[in-house]
Amino acid sequence: MFDIIVKAAGFVIIILLGMSSREMGLLKKEDSFILSRIIVTFTLPCALIAGFGGITFSVLTFITLLLGFLCNAFLLTMGKFLTRKGTSLEKANAMICTSGYNIGAFAIPFCQSFFTPQILSYIIMFDIGNCIMCLGGSAAIAKFEIDSGSKFSVMTIVRKLSRSVPFVVYMFLMLISLFHLEIPAPCMTVISMIGDANVFIIMFMIGMQIELKFSLRSLASISKIILVRYGFAVLFALAVQLLPIPMDPACRTALTVVVFAPLSSVTTVFSQELGCDTNVAALAGSISMPISVCAFVALLIFLA
């Protein structure tokens, strides 16, 4: 237990280092986007491959993938319901802000340090379903609220997924599991060296990006988004833990933790593309970060 608390505290300290570096002027918030590119292109894919223990394909595996998709769909619907009296732009913004999880660049680094590769494999499957929505699916549906004549393009979503390095890595990992292939040991040595930098860079970047400055005008919208996301996370986690569902304990743990991930990092991008208020998306993302850090630390202490 003590080792778990020390590791969890280490994550928080690295995040605080990122925040203090920005506040002291050593680095700017804009520098975090350079770190983000390094993470997505190099360290995250290598960390995923290095920590991957293989996927045992079963009905439960694909149910986990489906749950990643359905959790997004439910939250997207709740976003629309919350703003049913608002403008079309407010509805669209709420829909993309309430749905979508930052799993690759947040949940996985936390979980790799505490949980088994089997638990990680279920988190990856959940994130595949999540990616389908947060990398284009949710934005395409939200666009209908602004322009009812817009066309839903599956190919647009496929193109976005194909440009997502983590998603491509997921597909690669699924293929090598399916055909029982192994990556050569010398390659794994180099991959592990790069992947080892992932946790520090991600936690440091999160600290650089956290900003808790907001206006009273946007407070109401942000409060609704946060309450819906984490209210749903609590109810979902309790259901997974308490209901007598026949489930692999590794899958139970993965599903309990993963729904507490913060807003997807691409939420602000899609908010801007749709012409919505990007301040709401950016601030909701910033506020969700420290909440998710606290939630993950608490869950890891009790579940790891």
Would you write out the chain's pLDDT as a tens digit for each of its 304 residues?
Answer: 677 777 778 878 888 898 899 889 998 878 887 888 888 788 888 888 887 766 777 889 999 999 999 999 999 999 989 888 888 888 888 898 899 998 887 888 888 878 888 898 899 899 989 988 887 788 888 887 777 666 666 777 777 778 778 788 888 888 888 888 888 999 999 999 998 888 888 888 878 877 766 666 677 788 889 999 999 999 999 999 999 888 999 999 999 999 999 998 778 777 877 787 777 887 888 788 889 988 998 898 888 6
Q: Are 296 and 107 in contact (CB under 8 A)?
A: yes
| Core vs surface per residue 23-58: b (16+ CB within 10 A) or e | eeeebeeeebeebbebbbebbbbbbbbbbbeebeee
Considering only the top CATH level, what class is 2-11+31-205+219-303?
A: mainly alpha
Mean residue pLDDT across the chain: 85
Structural domain spans, the chain:
2-11+31-205+219-303
Q: What is the pLDDT of residue 239?
A: 96
- pTM (2 d.p.): 0.83
Alpha-helical (H) ranges within the chain are: 2-23, 31-38, 44-50, 59-82, 88-98, 108-112, 117-132, 138-146, 154-162, 165-178, 185-195, 198-209, 216-242, 249-258, 267-273, 278-303
- In the numeric block, which tokens belong to residue 214? 């907001």
Q: How many CA atoms lie within 13 A of 119 on its CB side?
A: 22
* Residue 214, pLDDT score: 62
Instruction: State the pLDDT at residue 207.
Output: 82
